[in-house]
Amino acid sequence: MYCRLVAVLALAVSLSFLLYDVVLVNEAGSKSEIIRYGIGYWLWVASFVLLCAATAIGTNDAPRNFAGEEPLTNNARMRYFFPIRRRASGSTG
């Protein structure tokens, strides 16, 4: 839910640059006129469009193991991928 909201807000902020004629270019307060929007800007906007699309079609399913069985908690997931081999209590190392 919050992911979708953040994605839409990020898209709105990226598109808001179309409303400005000048942009702040450094910490000293120097401004520069926006002459054109290059490929970098449009790729940046496209990344937010893709983010919005991904959050819109994403699922809310709990993560499952490879066999599609019960949902794994973080601890169970860690034990699945990084099993801890314990020594027998009477053995010496």
Q: Which domain holds residue 56?
A: 2-60
- What is the predicted pLDDT for the residue at 76? 60
Write down the pLDDT at residue 69.
60
Inside any domain, residue 85: no
Residue 33 three-state SS:
strand
Please report the sign of the dihedral spanned by the C-alpha atoms of residue 15, residue 19, residue 21, residue 23.
negative
| Residue 28, phi then psi, degrees to nearest 5 | -80, -5
Task: Please indicate, yes or no, if residue 53 is contained in any of the structural domains.
Answer: yes
Q: Does 9 fall in a domain? A: yes
Q: Which of 43-47, 67-71, 78-82, 85-89 has the highest mean pLDDT?
A: 43-47
Residue 38 has a pLDDT of 94
Q: Say if 39 falls within a structural domain.
A: yes
What radius of gyration do the chain's Cα atoms show?
Answer: 24
Higher pLDDT, 86 or 27: 27
The total number of structural domains in the chain stands at: 1
Q: Does residue 3 have a pLDDT over 90?
A: no
* Residue 68 belongs to some domain of the structure: no
Q: What is the pLDDT of residues 14-70, one digit of tens each?
A: 999 999 999 899 999 999 999 999 999 999 999 999 999 988 887 655 555 566 666
